[in-house]
C-alpha cells in the first residue's frame, strides 16, 4: 500500500505568490507538490487533474485551505468524496484531517458552503457598490477621472491670458488634456450656435 503525501497549491491570480503555501506543504512532509496559478472561475486546472489521477489508496492529499481545491460546494464535495472512495486521506491544514464519516462529511459540506457564501457575498457587494455608483449623475465607467469638470473649465478660462504650457504648470492638467477639452468646448459652442433659431 502506498503512503505518499501529495501537496496541491493554487493561487487565484497570476500575480499572487505560491511561496507561503509551498512552505506549509513542505513542512507537512509532502513528497510531491503540484502547483498552479489559475483564477477561481477558470475550469482549466491541469495540475489538480494530474494529482487527483496520481492518488491511490493509503495516500494523503494536503492543501492549505479547502477553497484551494474547489471553486464551489458541489465541486468540493465531489472531489473529496471521490478521494474517500479511493481510500485517500484529505488533510486541510487550517482545519485538520477530513474523515470519511458522517460527521466528517457534514463538516466538509459546512466548510465548503461557508467558503462559497463568502465568495458570493464579496461579488454581491462589488456589484451593489457599482449599481449605487451608476445612479450618480457624474458616474463614468472605468477609471475615475483625475480632474473634475469644474477644474477643467477653470483651466480653460486661463487659456485666454496664458499659454497651454503655463496653464498646465499652474493647474497640473496636461497640455494634451487641455487641448482635448478646448476642442470639445469649441465643438459644443459651434453646435449650440447652429441650433439657435
Catalytic residues: 12
Strand partners, 32: 6
Among the listed residues 23, 55, 48, 44, the one whose alpha carbon sits nearest the alpha carbon of residue 34: 48
Reading the block at residue 154, the C-alpha cell is: 477653470
Q: Report residue 88 as a C-alpha cell.
A: 485517500
Beta carbons of 83 and 90 less than 8 angstroms apart: yes
Residues 6 or more apart whose Cβ sits within 8 Å of residue 172: 147
Query: Assign residue 152 a region: left if phi > 0, alpha if psi is -120 to 50, beta otherwise?
Result: alpha
Find the radius of gyration of the CA atoms of the chain: 28
Amino acid at each position: 500500500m502506498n503512503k505518499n503525501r501529495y501537496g496541491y497549491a493554487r493561487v487565484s491570480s497570476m500575480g499572487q505568490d505560491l511561496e507561503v503555501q509551498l512552505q506549509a506543504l513542505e513542512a507537512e512532509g509532502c513528497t510531491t507538490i503540484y502547483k498552479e496559478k489559475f483564477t477561481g472561475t477558470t475550469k482549466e486546472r491541469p495540475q489538480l487533474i494530474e494529482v487527483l489521477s496520481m492518488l491511490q489508496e493509503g495516500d494523503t492529499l494536503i492543501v492549505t485551505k479547502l477553497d484551494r481545491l474547489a471553486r464551489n460546494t458541489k465541486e468540493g464535495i465531489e472531489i473529496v468524496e471521490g478521494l474517500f472512495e479511493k481510500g485517500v486521506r484529505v488533510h486541510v491544514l487550517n482545519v485538520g484531517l477530513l474523515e470519511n464519516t458522517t460527521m466528517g462529511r457534514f463538516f466538509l459540506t459546512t466548510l465548503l458552503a461557508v467558503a462559497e457564501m463568502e465568495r458570493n457575498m464579496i461579488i454581491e457587494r462589488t456589484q451593489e457598490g457599482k449599481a449605487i455608483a451608476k445612479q450618480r449623475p457624474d458616474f463614468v465607467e472605468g477609471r475615475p477621472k483625475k480632474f473634475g469638470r469644474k477644474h477643467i473649465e477653470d483651466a480653460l478660462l486661463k487659456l485666454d491670458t496664458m499659454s497651454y504650457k503655463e496653464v498646465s504648470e499652474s493647474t497640473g492638467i496636461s497640455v494634451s488634456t487641455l487641448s482635448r477639452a478646448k476642442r470639445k468646448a469649441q465643438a459644443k459652442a459651434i453646435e449650440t450656435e447652429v441650433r439657435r433659431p
